[in-house]
Structure 1
Amino acid sequence: MDIGGERKVPYTLSNIEKCMCSLCPVQADSKCAQNKLVNSKKVMEQMPKGEVPKPEDIPGIYCSTGRATCQDLNPEKQCICNTCDVWKGYNLGEGKPSQYFCQNGRAI
């Protein structure tokens, strides 16, 4: 959503479900991100409907939450932000940064 010239991505269950970060080559070899992915699926299955997990427990939606907490990501690999429905829906290609949110921070 473009609000006053800024592209802010809300941290919502809907956006978490659309997020493609877990499929990104940047995260593919990250043990930290892969562990978070497995754990987040378990947590989300057990959460009450409509509740949202803590951002630090999700290996993704960095456009909303900011830099990844995992230190073993490989930003030399091609990111796939531009294939994501969240990226497209919030026109993040026109914002700063436009990709590599896991390294560069949330979208503004």
Structure 2
Amino acid sequence: MTKKVYNIGVEATMDVIGGKWKPIILCNLRHGEQRPSELRRNIHGISQKMLTQQLRELEEDNIVVRKSYNTVPPKVEYYLSDYGETLGTLLDNLCTWGELHVDTLREKGEDVELMHVD
């Protein structure tokens, strides 16, 4: 295994939750267990393939837990692990800053809409 070297802590954070979709997935899972179909409905623009890939990566990093039910048809749910729950304050701050940014854009005269406020 190759040694990972990070210059600052934020690099390690972004290595796990960086990208377009992971923070959005995590923010959705803050509210409890969700099936992949629910996540896909709540995350506009994400493909099934991308959602599956991102969930697998988050599961590998012990951020989310995949819970399978032995039913017909099969049922799968995802939720934040205890370790993933430690991201709560960070995710709250990202959401709050995003809301501030939307307000700033509006003040600049940009036509921007925030569909959901936590």
Q: TM-score range by the shorter chain?
A: under 0.3
**TM-score of the aligned structures, taking structure 1 as reference length:** 0.25
- Which structure shows the bigger proportion of residues in strand conformation? 2
Larger Rg: 2
- Which structure shows the bigger proportion of residues in helix conformation? 2
**TM-score of the aligned structures, taking structure 2 as reference length:** 0.24
Q: Which has the higher contact order (CA 8 A, sep 6+)?
A: 1
